[in-house]
Structure 1
Amino acid sequence: MSALSRRSALLLGLSTPAFLAACATTPPMSPPDPTGMADPEMRALLASLASLGPKPLEGLTPAEARRQPGLADATLNLLRQQNKPTTPRAVPLVKDVTIPGPGGPLQARVYSSAHIPEMPGQAPLPLIVYFHGGGWVISTIDTYDTSARALSLDAGAVVVSVEYRKGPENKFPAAHDDAYAAYVWAVQNATTLGADPNRVAIVGESAGGNLAIATALSAKAGGAPMPQALALVYPVAGTDTATPSYTQFANAKPLSRPAVLWFVGQYTNGGSDLQDPRLNVYGAADLRGLPRTIIVNAEIDPLADDGARLEQKLQQAGVSVTRRVYPGVTHEFFGADAVLSKAKDAQTFVAGELRAVFVNTPTPPLPAPRGRVRPVHPRRATP
Structure 2
Amino acid sequence: MQVVLDKLMALGAKPLETLTPEQARSGPSAADAAKAVAATQAGKAPSGPAISARDVTYPGAGGPMPARIYAPAGTANARPLIVYFHGGGWVIADIDTYDGGARGIARETGAVVVSCEYRRAPENKFPAAHDDAVACYKWATANAASWGAGGKVAIAGESAGGNLAIDTGIAARDQKLKAPSALLLVYPIAGSDMNTPSYRDSANAAPLSKAGMMWFVKHVFAKPADARDPRIDVYKRARLQGLPPTIIVNAAADPLRSDGELLAGALTRAGVETTRKVYPGTTHEFFGMDAVVANAKAAQMFAGSELKKHLR
Q: What's the CA shift for 1:48?
A: 1.2
One-letter identity of the residue aligned with 1:288: Q
Query: For residue 311 of structure 2, what is the amino acid of its counterpart?
Result: F
Deviation of the 1:272 alpha carbon: 2.2
Which residue of 118, 127, 132 corresponds with 1:164?
Answer: 118
Following superposition, the deviation at residue 90 of structure 1 comes to 7.0
Q: Secondary structure at the match of 1:166?
A: coil
| Aligned: 1:217 with 2:170 | yes
Identify which range, 58-67 or 80-89, moves more after superposition: 80-89
CA offset at residue 92 of structure 1? Answer: 4.3
Which residue in the other structure is 2:235 paired with?
Answer: 282
TM-aligned CA deviation for residue 206 of structure 1 = 0.3
* Contact residue 91 and residue 111 of structure 1 kept, 8 A: no
2:36 to 73, 77, 97: 77
Please state whether the residue corresponding to 2:231 is helix, strand or coil: coil
TM alignment of 1:157-306, pairs within 5 A: 157-196=111-150, 198-306=151-259
The answer to whether the Cα contact below 8 Å between 2:48 and 2:108 also exists between their aligned partners in 1 is no
Q: 1:1-383 to 2 correspondence within 5 Å?
A: 42-83=1-42, 91-115=50-74, 122-196=76-150, 198-359=151-312
Q: What whole-Å deviation, never above 9, does each CA across 1:105-151 have from its counterpart, x for those lacking one?
A: 010000111356xxxxx421000000000000000100111111111
Counterparts in 2 of 1:95 and 1:127: CA distance versus 1, 3 Å: same
**Structure 1 unaligned residues grouped into runs of 5+:** 1-41, 117-121, 360-383
Whole-Å separation in 2 of the counterparts to 1:87 and 1:66: 27
Q: Would the alpha carbon gap of residues 83 and 126 (structure 1) be closer, same or farther in structure 2, given more than 3 Å must change?
A: closer
Show structure 2 runs of 5+ residues with no match: none
Match of 1:16 in 2: none
CA distance in 2, matches of 1:163, 1:229: 21
Answer yes or no: is the 8 Å Cα contact 1:299–1:329 preserved in 2: yes
Cα displacement string for residues 162-201 of structure 1 (whole angstroms, at most 9, x for unaligned residues): 00000000000000000001001111111112102x5000
Q: Deviations over 1:196-240 (max 9, x none)?
A: 2x5000000000000000101111111112200000000000010
Are residues 66 and 84 of structure 1, via their aligned partners in 2, closer, same or farther at CA, if it must alter by over 3 Å? Answer: farther
1 CA distance for matches of 2:276 and 2:235?
15
**TM-score for both structures, normalised by structure 1:** 0.79
Larger radius of gyration: 1
Conservation of the 8 A alpha-carbon contact between 2:49 and 2:72: no
Partners of 2:299 and 2:47 in 1: CA distance: 18
Q: Deviations over 1:23-50 (max 9, x none)?
A: xxxxxxxxxxxxxxxxxxx111111111
Percent identity, aligned pairs only, is 54
TM (normalized to structure 2)?
Answer: 0.96
CA RMSD across the alignment: 1.6
The 3-state SS of whatever aligns with 2:144 is coil
2:186·2:249 contact (CA, 8 Å) conserved in 1?
A: yes
Distance in 1 between residues matched to 2:305 and 2:93, nearest whole Å? 27
Amino acid across the alignment from 1:53: G
Partners of 1:239 and 1:177 lie apart in 2 by: 20
| 1:85, distance to aligned residue in structure 2 (A) | 6.8
- Mapped contact 1:91–1:149 kept (Cα < 8 A): no
Partner AA of 2:83 in structure 1: V
**1:330-356: CA deviations, max 9, x gaps?**
010000011011000000000000111
Moved segments of 4+, more than 4 Å: 83-90
SS at match of 1:146: helix
Q: For 1:190, what is the secondary structure of its paired residue?
A: helix
How far 1:77 sits from its partner (Å)? 1.5
Secondary structure (helix, strand or coil) at the match of 1:342 reads: helix
The change in CA–CA distance for 1:114 and 1:77 in structure 2 (over 3 A counts) is closer
Distance 1:69 1:89 in 2: 29
